[in-house]
């Protein structure tokens, strides 16, 4: 059976499955023998669970996501009561089957989706400016140096997640793209940002901070010049790199943390990003729970300093972030792990599609620019519903 037919058959079978971008294409995981729904009580037990390591197979892993609220609780940060849709705080699966797929996912849906409604934003420009001005005062008083204001786009919709994901992978393929299809929810993501990869004792993180809209005049080289000459973008990037370097240094040997890629440009469908890469070697006796608590939630989508900024955000925001700025990835039984930051994603739950985005506010920021930047980040996902 061809891989295309396998994908069609698995989707038709109503099985739960996960697709995750790999170096050569995509990996599809299915036939789940375990599904662990996480909460504040069982999260520590799950992360401290001893895994069997004899006869290690490629399906010997747990794959899934930590939601934003759960990651806050892991590091002792409280999230006040907010409006929520009662979506799980985290779910991990144990697959028994893995299928390797190439980069060109082919799927022919029998029914074309028809979306008559439009996405509604939860914060308009005027409301955004009020929050922006409030946080600007916090920056000037020294309570934070950078903070990310989240906006949500929502629409009532029944979707075919595989159709959306295949189209997204063709138009906006991202290095951390993934999809989860379960019986009562789906997540489609074109996340570009790897938060932590651990292979043996070596760990890396790839902070992204800096966005510019793509057009006919804005080439990759011009984007690099723009970032280098833009004081606001440079400050934002430097702050996030410094914070993530500090986070990773907490778990790495002294002197082993190095910036191995500094301020390079990555190209996506509607935008360019400013990116760096940090590498280090773990201290002895560091456990995976130590790595997760040190690195999550990812600083590039929160702001800095992390804890005080999280408290400011949580006290301001009225809606639960659910998956947004959480982390998706896997923990292998041999101890290796890989997690991204959940951004550029669609959560569909109870027939509501939800897209969350955020832009960074620093002392030099302009509210209109940041509000518009949020739309640029959401556009590739919103376009799937046209």
Give 247-264 pLDDT, tens digit per residue. 999 999 999 999 999 999
SS3 11: helix
* pLDDT digits 0-9 by tens, 41-86: 999 999 998 887 777 799 999 999 999 999 999 999 999 999 989 9
Return phi, psi of residue 173, to 5°.
Answer: -65, 125
How many angstroms separate the CA atoms of 300 and 125, rounded? 23
Predicted pLDDT of residue 257? 97
Cis peptide before 53 (omega within 30 of 0): no
Beta carbons of 343 and 301 less than 8 angstroms apart = yes
The rounded mean pLDDT for the chain is 92
Handedness of CA 102, 98, 181, 83 (dihedral sign): negative
Residue 2 has pLDDT above 70, yes or no: no
Per-residue CA distances from 49 to 42, 57, 114, 280, 321 (Å): 11, 18, 45, 25, 27
Predicted pLDDT of residue 233? 84
* pLDDT digits 0-9 by tens, 330-362: 999 999 999 999 999 999 999 999 999 998 788
Predicted pLDDT of residue 362? 83
Other C-beta atoms lying within 10 Å of the C-beta of residue 210:
25
Predicted pLDDT of residue 356? 95
Return phi, psi of residue 291, to 5°.
Answer: -65, -45
Predicted pLDDT of residue 4? 62
Handedness of CA 309, 310, 316, 322 (dihedral sign): positive
Predicted pLDDT of residue 218? 92
In percent, the amount of the chain with pLDDT more than 90 equals: 72
Predicted pLDDT of residue 365? 87
How many angstroms separate the CA atoms of 328 and 341, rounded? 7
Other C-beta atoms lying within 10 Å of the C-beta of residue 246:
15
SS3 305: coil
Q: For the residues 147-171, what does the mean pLDDT come to?
A: 92
Predicted pLDDT of residue 116? 73
Predicted pLDDT of residue 321? 95
How many angstroms separate the CA atoms of 277 and 208, rounded? 9
SS3 229: helix
Q: For the residues 20-42, what does the mean pLDDT come to?
A: 95
220 CB-near residues (< 8 Å, 6+ apart): 265, 267, 272
Q: Poorest-confidence range of 2-6, 152-156, 171-175, 348-352?
A: 2-6
Predicted pLDDT of residue 106? 85
SS3 80: coil
Q: For the residues 142-155, what does the mean pLDDT come to?
A: 92
The residue behind tokens 């292998």 is 332
Predicted pLDDT of residue 209? 85
Predicted pLDDT of residue 254? 96
Predicted pLDDT of residue 239? 87
Predicted pLDDT of residue 107? 87
Among the listed residues 176, 177, 295, the one whose alpha carbon sits nearest the alpha carbon of residue 240:
295
Residue 1 has pLDDT above 60, yes or no: no
CA dihedral 361, 362, 363, 364 (to 10 degrees): -90
Task: Please name the fold of domain 3-385.
Answer: Anthranilate synthase (3.60.120)
Beta carbons of 212 and 272 less than 8 angstroms apart = yes
Predicted pLDDT of residue 363? 86
Give the confidence band of 171 by pLDDT, cuts at 50, 70, 90: confident
Handedness of CA 295, 299, 305, 310 (dihedral sign): negative
Handedness of CA 332, 337, 343, 344 (dihedral sign): negative
Q: Poorest-confidence range of 169-173, 316-320, 322-326?
A: 169-173
Give the best-scoring range by mean pLDDT among 215-219, 325-329, 359-363, 365-369. Answer: 325-329
Kindly report whether the global pTM for this prediction surpasses the value 0.85: yes
């Amino acid at each position: 059976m061809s891989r295309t037919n396998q994908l069609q058959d698995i989707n038709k079978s109503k099985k739960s499955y996960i697709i995750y971008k790999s170096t050569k294409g995509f990996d599809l995981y299915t036939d789940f023998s375990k599904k662990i729904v996480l909460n504040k009580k069982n999260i520590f037990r799950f992360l401290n669970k001893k895994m069997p390591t004899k006869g290690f197979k490629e399906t010997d892993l747990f794959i899934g996501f930590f939601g934003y609220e759960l990651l806050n609780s892991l590091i002792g940060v409280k999230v006040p009561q907010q409006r929520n849709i009662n979506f799980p705080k985290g779910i991990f699966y144990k697959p028994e089957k893995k299928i390797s797929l190439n980069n060109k996912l082919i799927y022919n849906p029998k029914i074309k989706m028809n979306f008559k409604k439009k996405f509604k934003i939860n914060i308009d420009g005027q409301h955004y400016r009020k929050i922006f001005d409030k946080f600007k005062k916090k920056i000037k008083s020294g309570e934070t140096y950078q903070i990310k204001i989240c906006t949500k786009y929502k629409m009532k919709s029944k979707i075919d997640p595989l159709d959306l994901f295949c189209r997204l992978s063709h138009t906006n393929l991202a290095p951390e793209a993934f999809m989860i299809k379960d019986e009562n929810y789906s997540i489609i993501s074109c996340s570009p940002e790897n938060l932590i990869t651990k292979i043996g004792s070596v760990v890396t993180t790839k902070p992204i901070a800096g966005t510019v809209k793509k057009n006919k005049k804005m080439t990759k080289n011009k984007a690099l010049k723009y970032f280098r000459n833009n004081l606001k973008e440079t400050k934002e990037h430097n702050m996030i790199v410094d914070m993530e370097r500090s986070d990773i240094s907490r778990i790495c040997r002294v002197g082993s943390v190095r910036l191995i890629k500094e301020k390079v440009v990555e190209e996506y469908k509607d935008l360019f990003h400013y990116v760096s890469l940090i590498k280090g070697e773990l201290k002895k006796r560091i456990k995976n729970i130590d790595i997760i608590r040190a690195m999550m939630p990812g600083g590039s989508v929160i702001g800095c300093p992390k804890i005080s900024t999280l408290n400011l955000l949580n006290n301001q925001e009225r809606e639960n972030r659910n998956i947004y700025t959480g982390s998706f990835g896997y923990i292998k039984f041999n101890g290796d792990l890989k997690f991204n930051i959940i951004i550029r994603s669609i959560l569909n739950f109870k027939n509501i599609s939800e897209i969350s985005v955020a832009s960074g506010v620093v002392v030099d920021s302009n509210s209109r620019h940041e509000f518009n930047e949020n739309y640029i980040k959401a556009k590739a996902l919103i376009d799937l519903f046209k």
